[in-house]
Homo-oligomer: A and B are copies of this chain.
């Protein structure tokens, strides 16, 4: 039966022993969305094209947040990321929906996975978009933040499927 590995047999939190796990190449991909008013998306598009680069700043914030994951998440192991890449996707200009999707790929060579690094980067990327646009639109909603894919490591690969992720 499933149990929570971050607790020992007495129910006390610990940073799990990973010394005996082999150092393998680990990849994780996570994604999330921020939904907004069409007028807000128009401001982002405009800035992206000419000046006031919201997404460029959110990308840097996301990359830096990936490096801070083990400071933020109490039981995460510190690890040396070997790659972080951040992609943003926007709806087509003729679509009525208004959102930005943020997808982050994180990689390391080590004994633990990098899901938390990818997810943390997504969250901080979305938060930065919120921060930069909030004067125009306080009602933005961050949603559907989830792991898409995980490769490397003993527990096997994971690929999100179906509608719920």
Contact = CB atoms under 8 A, between A and B. Distances in A.
A61 interface: yes
A25 B19 CA distance: 8
A79 interface: yes
Interface residues of A, number: 96
A111 B82 contact: yes
Nearest to A40: B2
Contact of A128 (B73, B83, B140): B73
A29 interface: no
A97 interface: no
Secondary structure of the A side of the interface?
Answer: mixed
A15 B83 contact: yes
A2 B111 CA distance: 36
Contact of A17 (B107, B145, B155): B107
Given A83-B18, A147-B138, A150-B138, A60 B13 contact: yes
Q: How many copies does the complex hold?
A: 6
Contact of A14 (B15, B85, B111): B85
Contact of A141 (B82, B86, B164): B164
B141 A144 contact: yes
Contacts of A11: 47, 50-53
A143 B140 contact: no
A133 interface: yes
Contacts of A40: 2
List 4 tightest A-B contacts by C-beta distance, closest first: A11-B51, A139-B165, A2-B136, A7-B52
6 contacts: A11-B51, A13-B56, A14-B84, A75-B132, A82-B111, A138-B147
